[in-house]
Every structure is written in structure tokens, then in C-alpha cells.
């Protein structure tokens, strides 16, 4: 116990030194066009990002003075406004054309674009925003831009983890108190989990960094996914303690639950490790952190829980109470009476869910949602009401042919969804020799090898129209530059992620299924049970995904991939527990009697485990403002309930129906047959 205490204290200090990454493009494969393009753009033009600043109730002269004051702020390299396109010293504002005014000055509201010398994900944006607020303290201002949204992401990620856990822990405690046999059971579970979670979060220091998605999910998911192990042991300990002294009860409980706990941990770890094979390396980030967490929870269960249970045996016994919720004995009898209709229903569910899950639609980009009453959403809404809303994309093209640049701009201008184009040939007369152009303007658009073309598009959300637009852009640019170009932006990134992660789907499913099949075959010493359990949980996964289609919900594909692995690896625990207990009882009882005993002793453990995972999932979904975390939460919450339902309703009859095949194909049974034959 002392060693765990030392590790926990050290880990608490390390947690705050773990770096968090907010740039999901860094997880793209190194050979991706987006990754290559981002590297080239930084080499050619340096790092940059922008903030849009709307000033309310301001006249033209004040705006010009404000521009000067903004240039005095650190990291500001450019402030773009109407005067960069129109000479306001000679042309009165009333004579400026609407095509210019609508983008910069409407109803005494001015919209300025502040360009900064760091990337969108830099933490230095916090100080810049603070400096802007101070410089503009006498005006009503509103801010918009990707860097502002990423600043909010950081704030959410740093607070959401603890906000979610503060909701989950009391609910989990309540569930454990209601369903436990002793009031001290939840204390043991939380001590064990708390130690494993803190050590896991602290040991992330050995990774370069972890994504904000992983950071937000890790704590709640580790608790929900690994609480099974402690529950398996404690529930069995109470059974054995009725007839055995404390030391023997601990030894027997350890021996009897070790196969189920080990199989449960290994299957969950296998599900996470399958994510390591994704080309989109966010899977590796999530997989490493959570599989490490499950391993630590497994080790603390095998060591710390046994010690705590033995140490506090008297308190455990003293604080025993009758369960407030009991397993209905009639349920299994009812399931056996309707076993034929149930088997037919299962076949229909398998076929129906397989059909509908293929019709579900997905999103692939880093879509982000924030509370409507958050400051950034209010600011964005105010700006949207006055000025055009657009998405910005960048095209990098070779800078050796001005005629090609002009042809590209002409083709892009013909596109319906292109609102505007900024590049050197649109800012400066292309007939002017570039050696005579102001270097400040030139360096914004022309690098050593590539020219930067900035386009604004009115496609704001990821949908089929966006993918068609990206396809059109690729066609237009490739007609002129073949393959020597790069398109950058949320739309092009989402399009590339779609190509990458959809190719990962089948690979992850097969790897996780094969790994779990091998683990369960070794655990059960039987190949039939693993096939049965995997088929059952895969059906639960397909039903989970089918519900998305039937309710017309579009979800994030990366969330689907992660949940596919988690649901298979984690919720198969319920089926493993029931099957393990059935085989144990089958050694000295007939099939129906063995199932009745097994069902009675495991149903509550399965129920508690599933409800806790459901609570954790829905808490993530309801409380998180990070889209990917929200989607994973909802899918996992539903998935755990579906897996529990299928295990409770269909697995008992499947085990009874295939009892003879299971017994005859077990490794022990085959060995006995071989001995008899010889």
C-alpha cells in the first residue's frame, strides 16, 4: 500500500506537467497532402492566424486610429480594413461602393481582420485577446475566428474533465450504495479506481503530449470501464465470506474471479490497442492512454483491492446491508419459456442491424459546438448578423507562372460558393513587375516556391455539398498545376480525413475481433463461446449504429470508430462474466440449474457495471461542449445499455442451446475424448 501511495502522490504532481495538443491535423499521416501543405505554408510564409474584430458605433476616423493602436500589440503583424483597398483620405466613405462597404463597414459597425504571427493553436492568443480588450476598453467589441474557438477549446478541456467527474462520482456512489452488500464496498472501489486513474494521468508525462479529446475522456472512461474488476472481486468475496474466514475468502475470491477479470481487462485493452493501427493517429493517442489506464486498473485490482479488503474485513462485515435491488428469480424462467421466439428475434436483429448500420451518415471534420450563451457564440452571432459569414481556405500553387495564377483566379470566381479571392494578382495589377511591389504585400502572398491564394466560401458546415466543393477545387487546380498544389482548410482537411478513417474501419474491426477471439479462446479453452460472445456484442454495436440512421442523426466518424472498439472490448465483460460462471457451475450441475445459479449471482454485477458505463457516457454527452467527446459519450452510453440488454436476454438461452457443442468442443473435453480413444 505504501508503494501505491508514493506513486499516487508523484503522479498528482506530474498530471499538471502533461502537455495537451489541440491541433488535430497533427494526427494526420505524414504523407497526407494536408500535413505536407501545412509544413510548406509555414516554411514559405511563417506561422500566422487571424482574429476578426467588430467594433460597434464607431466612425471612420476612429477606426483608422484604432488600427494604429492595434499594431502596437505584440504579435500583431497586420490589421486589414477598408482603407487597405480604398484611399479614404481622398474618397469620402459615402462614395465607397457597396461591394467594399458590405465587408468592412455597415451601420457604423467596422470589421477588422487582425493577423498574428503564431498559429491557430498557440496559447499566446490568450494574452493577445486580453491586450485587445484593454486597447478597446472604451468600445463595444466582438471577436470571431478559429484561434478564438481554439482558445475556448483549451478552456473547455481544462475544466470539463473535472466538471464531468464531479457529476459522475456522486451518481456512481449512489448506484454502488444501492446495489452493494456493504456500505464499505463503494469506498474500496473508489480507492482502487482513484489510485489507478491518478497514476494513469501522471504517467502520461512519458508521452510527447495527449490530445484534448483524450484528456477530456480519459478520467471518466477509465473509471466506467474498469470498475467491473473491483466489482467482480468484491461481489465474489461476499459470497465466499459467508462460509470462509477473511483470508481464505480473499484467496478463493481472487482465484475464482481472476479468469473473468483478466479476460475482461485484456479484451478492453485489445479494443483500445486496435486503435493504434489507425492511420489517423488520434487513434494511437486515445488507444495508448486508455489501454494504459485499463492495465493500471487491472493491476490495482489484483494487488491493492485484495489488501484493502483483507485490512478492512471487519468494517465490510459490520456495514453489511440488504440489497435495495434484488435479482428477480422469475426472469430466467420467463426467458426459457420464450427461448424460440427470442432466438428468432436475435436473428432478425442481426440481419436488420447489419442492413441499417450501413446507411448511417457521418461527419469527418473537427466540428465544434459551444453553448449558445457562451461569450464566443454571442460574439460570433453579433458579427454574423451584420457581416458575411464565411470559411477561409488556402491554395498553395507554384509561383513561376503569373498567367496560370490569373487563369486559376478566373476559374475560381466562376464557382458558386466562392465569395472572394485574395492573392497577389487580385491585389496588385499582374502587369506590374513584382520587383516593384511593396515587400510587405509581396511576402503575404509569394514565398520562395509557392504562391498563396486565399478564398472565402459560403459553405459553413460539413455536408455532401462541401465534399463536392472540395472535389471541384481539386479538379480546377489540378487542370492547371496537375499534382503540384495543396488545398488547406477545414473543408479539405475533413475530406482527407474521410478518405483516411473510412479505410481504417474494417482494419480496426478485424484486429479487435481477432485479438478478442484469441484472448477468449485461451480464457475459456473453447472456440465456440468466443464466437458466440463476439457475435452478440457486434450485434449490439450494429444496433447502436442503426439507431443513428433510424433517428436521422449524423455522427462524427472518429467517434464511431472509437466506440466500436470500446463497446466490443468493454461490454463483452458482461458476457464473459456470465459465461465464466456458467462453465464453473456446469462442472457439478445440469445446464438449467447451472444457468439459474450463474444468472442469479452475476446479473447484479453486470447491471451495475453497465449502468455506471451508461452514466459516464451520457454525462460526457450532456456536459461536454467538445463535439467528438459528446458523440463518443452518447454512443457509449447507448451501447452499454444495448450490450447489457442483449447479454441479459439472449445469452442465457444461447449458452443452454449450444451447451453440448460447448462441452464437446472445449479443450478439456477434446483431451478426454482423445484419452478414451487411445
Q: What's the rounded mean pLDDT across residues 222-234? A: 87
Q: Looking at the predicted structure, is the pLDDT value of residue 128 above 90?
A: yes
The per-residue pLDDT for range 456-490, each reduced to its tens digit, is 888 877 778 888 898 999 999 999 998 889 999 87
Task: Label residue 366 by pLDDT band (50, 70, 90).
Answer: low
Distances from the Cα of 486 to the Cα of 40, 379, 394, angstroms: 9, 32, 8
The per-residue pLDDT for range 287-324, each reduced to its tens digit, is 999 999 999 999 999 889 989 999 999 898 888 877 66
Q: Looking at the predicted structure, is the pLDDT value of residue 671 above 60?
A: no
Q: What is the pTM of this model?
A: 0.82
Q: Are 110 and 34 in contact (CB under 8 A)?
A: no
- Give the pLDDT confidence score for residue 349 in this predicted structure: 95
Q: What's the rounded mean pLDDT across residues 217-243? A: 87
Collect contacts of 343-349 with beta carbons under 8 A, ≥24 apart. Answer: 343/650, 343/653, 343/654, 343/657, 346/539, 346/646, 346/650, 346/654, 349/539, 349/543
Q: Looking at the predicted structure, is the pLDDT value of residue 60 above 70?
A: yes
- Give the pLDDT confidence score for residue 367 in this predicted structure: 57
- Helix then strand count (H, E) for the chain reads 26, 13
Task: Label residue 100 by pLDDT band (50, 70, 90).
Answer: confident
The per-residue pLDDT for range 497-538, each reduced to its tens digit, is 888 888 788 888 889 899 999 999 998 888 899 999 999 999
Closest by CA position to 268, among listed 286, 289, 295 = 295
Domains of the chain (ranges; CATH) run 39-144 (3.30.70.100), 151-358+495-677 (no CATH), 376-488 (3.30.70.100)
Q: Are 362 and 555 in contact (CB under 8 A)?
A: yes
Task: Look up residue 168 and give its three cell numbers.
Answer: 459522475
- Give the pLDDT confidence score for residue 472 in this predicted structure: 92
H helices of 525-590, where? 528-550, 557-586
Distances from the Cα of 501 to the Cα of 170, 172, 357, 508, 552, angstroms: 37, 34, 17, 10, 22
Q: Looking at the predicted structure, is the pLDDT value of residue 10 above 90?
A: yes
Task: Kindly give, in sequence order, each residue whose CB lies less than 8 Å from that of residue 248, ignoring residues fewer than 6 positions away.
Answer: 240
Closest by CA position to 405, among listed 304, 477, 329, 482 = 477
Task: Kindly give, in sequence order, each residue whose CB lies less than 8 Å from that of residue 445, ignoring residues fewer than 6 positions away.
Answer: 422, 423, 424, 427, 451, 452, 453
Task: Label residue 370 by pLDDT band (50, 70, 90).
Answer: low
Task: Look up residue 185 and give its three cell numbers.
Answer: 464496498
Reduce the secondary structure of 55-95 to three states and give it as a string: ECCCCHHHHHHHHHHHHCCCCEEEEECHHHCCCCCCCCHHH
Strands 486-488 and 391-398: antiparallel
Task: Look up residue 544 and give its three cell numbers.
Answer: 447502436
Q: Looking at residue 114, what DSSP letter applies?
A: E
From the centroid of its chain, how far is CA 216?
Answer: 9
Distance (Å, whole) CA 85 – CA 29? 40
Q: How many CA atoms lie within 13 A of 117 on its CB side?
A: 7
Task: Look up residue 373 and give its three cell numbers.
Answer: 450563451
Q: DSSP states of 429-484 as a string?
A: -TTS-GGGS-HHHHHHHB-SSEEEEEEEES--S-SHHHHHHHHHHHHHHHHHHTT-
Distance (Å, whole) CA 318 – CA 353? 49
Distance (Å, whole) CA 211 – CA 209? 7
Q: Are 396 and 485 in contact (CB under 8 A)?
A: yes
Distance (Å, whole) CA 164 – CA 338? 41
Q: Looking at the predicted structure, is the pLDDT value of residue 678 above 60?
A: no
- Give the pLDDT confidence score for residue 318 in this predicted structure: 86
Q: What's the rounded mean pLDDT across residues 38-45? A: 88
Q: Is the dihedral of CA 657, 261, 219, 174 positive or negative?
A: positive
The per-residue pLDDT for range 608-627, each reduced to its tens digit, is 888 888 988 898 888 887 77
CA 176, 309, 640, 367: dihedral to nearest 10 degrees?
Answer: 90
Distance (Å, whole) CA 678 – CA 676? 5
Q: Minimum mean pLDDT among 42-51, 203-212, 323-332: which range? A: 323-332
| Highest-scoring range by mean pLDDT, 39-53, 75-89, 98-112, 293-307 | 293-307
- Give the pLDDT confidence score for residue 197 in this predicted structure: 93
Closest by CA position to 470, among listed 421, 414, 415 = 415
Distance (Å, whole) CA 395 – CA 41? 10
Closest by CA position to 530, among listed 651, 657, 673, 674 = 651
Average pLDDT of the chain to the nearest whole number: 87
Q: Which residue has the higher pLDDT, 374 or 73?
A: 73
What is the share, in percent, of the chain residues with pLDDT greater than 90?
A: 35
Provide, for the chain, the percentages of residues in helix, strand and coil under a 3-state DSSP scheme, each rounded to the nearest 5: 70, 10, 20
Distance (Å, whole) CA 541 – CA 539? 5
Amino acid at each position: 500500500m505504501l508503494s501505491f501511495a508514493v506513486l499516487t502522490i508523484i503522479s498528482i504532481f506530474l498530471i499538471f506537467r502533461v502537455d495537451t495538443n489541440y491541433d488535430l491535423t497533427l494526427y494526420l499521416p505524414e504523407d497526407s497532402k494536408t500535413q505536407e501543405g501545412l509544413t510548406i505554408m509555414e516554411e514559405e510564409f511563417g506561422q500566422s492566424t487571424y482574429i476578426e474584430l467588430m467594433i460597434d458605433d464607431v466612425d471612420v476616423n476612429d477606426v483608422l486610429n484604432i488600427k494604429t493602436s492595434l499594431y502596437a500589440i505584440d504579435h500583431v503583424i497586420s490589421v486589414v480594413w477598408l482603407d487597405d483597398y480604398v484611399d479614404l483620405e481622398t474618397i469620402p466613405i459615402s462614395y465607397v461602393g457597396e461591394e467594399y462597404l458590405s465587408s468592412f463597414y455597415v451601420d457604423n459597425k467596422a470589421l477588422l481582420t487582425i493577423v498574428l504571427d503564431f498559429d491557430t493553436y498557440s496559447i499566446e492568443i490568450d494574452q493577445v485577446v486580453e491586450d485587445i480588450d484593454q486597447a478597446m476598453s472604451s468600445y463595444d467589441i466582438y471577436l470571431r475566428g478559429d484561434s478564438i474557438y481554439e482558445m475556448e477549446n483549451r478552456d473547455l478541456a481544462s475544466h470539463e474533465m473535472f466538471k464531468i467527474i464531479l457529476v459522475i462520482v456522486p451518481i456512481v456512489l449512489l448506484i454502488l450504495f444501492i446495489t452493494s452488500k456493504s456500505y464499505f464496498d463503494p469506498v474500496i472501489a473508489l480507492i482502487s479506481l482513484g489510485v489507478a486513474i491518478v497514476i494513469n494521468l501522471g504517467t502520461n508525462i512519458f508521452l510527447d503530449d495527449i490530445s484534448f479529446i483524450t484528456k477530456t475522456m480519459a478520467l471518466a472512461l477509465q473509471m466506467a470501464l474498469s470498475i467491473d474488476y473491483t466489482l467482480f472481486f468484491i461481489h465474489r468475496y461476499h459470497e465466499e465470506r459467508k462460509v470462509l474466514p477473511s483470508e481464505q475468502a480473499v484467496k478463493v475470491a481472487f482465484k475464482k474471479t481472476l479468469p473473468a477479470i483478466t479476460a475482461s481487462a485484456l479484451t478492453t485493452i485489445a479494443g483500445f490497442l486496435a486503435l493504434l493501427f489507425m492511420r489517423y493517429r488520434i487513434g494511437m493517442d486515445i488507444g495508448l492512454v486508455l489501454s494504459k489506464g485499463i492495465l493500471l486498473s487491472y493491476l490495482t485490482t489484483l494487488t491493492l483491492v485484495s489488501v484493502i479488503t483483507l485490512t478492512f474485513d471487519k468494517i465490510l462485515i459490520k456495514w453489511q446491508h440488504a440489497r435495495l435491488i434484488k435479482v428477480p428469480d422469475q426472469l430466467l424462467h420467463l426467458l426459457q419459456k420464450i427461448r424460440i421466439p427470442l432466438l428468432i428475434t436475435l436473428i432478425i436483429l442481426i440481419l436488420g442491424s447489419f442492413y441499417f448500420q450501413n446507411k448511417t451518415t457521418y461527419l469527418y471534420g473537427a466540428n465544434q459546438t459551444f453553448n449558445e450563451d457562451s461569450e464566443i457564440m454571442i460574439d460570433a452571432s453579433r458579427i454574423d448578423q451584420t457581416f458575411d459569414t464565411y470559411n477561409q481556405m488556402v491554395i498553395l500553387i507554384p509561383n513561376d507562372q503569373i498567367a496560370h495564377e490569373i487563369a486559376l483566379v478566373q476559374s475560381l470566381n466562376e464557382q458558386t460558393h466562392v465569395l472572394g479571392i485574395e492573392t497577389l494578382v487580385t491585389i496588385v495589377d499582374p502587369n506590374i513587375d513584382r520587383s516593384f511591389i511593396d515587400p510587405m504585400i509581396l511576402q503575404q502572398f509569394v514565398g520562395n516556391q509557392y504562391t498563396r491564394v486565399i478564398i472565402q466560401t459560403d459553405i459553413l458546415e460539413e455536408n455532401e455539398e462541401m465534399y463536392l466543393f472540395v472535389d471541384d477545387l481539386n479538379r480546377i487546380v489540378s487542370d492547371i498545376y496537375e499534382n503540384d498544389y495543396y488545398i488547406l482548410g477545414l473543408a479539405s482537411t475533413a475530406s482527407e480525413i474521410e478518405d483516411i478513417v473510412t479505410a481504417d474501419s474494417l482494419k480496426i474491426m478485424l484486429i479487435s475481433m481477432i485479438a478478442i477471439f484469441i484472448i477468449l479462446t485461451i480464457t475459456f479453452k473453447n472456440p465456440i463461446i468466443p464466437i458466440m460472445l463476439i457475435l452478440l456484442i457486434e450485434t449490439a454495436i450494429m444496433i447502436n449504429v442503426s439507431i443513428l440512421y433510424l433517428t436521422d442523426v449524423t455522427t462524427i466518424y472518429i467517434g464511431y470508430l472509437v466506440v466500436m472498439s470500446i463497446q466490443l472490448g468493454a461490454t463483452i465483460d458482461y458476457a464473459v462474466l456470465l459465461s465464466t460462471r456458467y462453465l464453473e457451475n456446469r462442472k457439478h450441475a445440469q445446464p438449467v440449474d447451472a444457468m439459474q445459479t450463474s444468472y442469479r449471482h452475476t446479473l447484479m454485477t453486470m447491471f451495475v457495471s453497465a449502468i455506471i458505463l451508461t452514466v459516464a457516457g451520457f454525462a460526457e454527452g450532456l456536459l461536454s461542449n467538445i463535439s467528438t467527446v459528446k458523440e463518443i459519450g452518447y454512443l457509449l452510453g447507448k451501447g452499454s445499455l444495448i450490450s447489457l440488454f442483449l447479454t441479459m436476454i439472449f445469452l442465457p438461452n444461447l449458452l443452454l442451446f449450444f451447451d453440448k457443442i460447448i462441452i464437446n468442443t472445449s479443450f478439456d473435453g477434446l483431451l478426454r475424448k482423445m484419452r478414451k480413444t487411445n
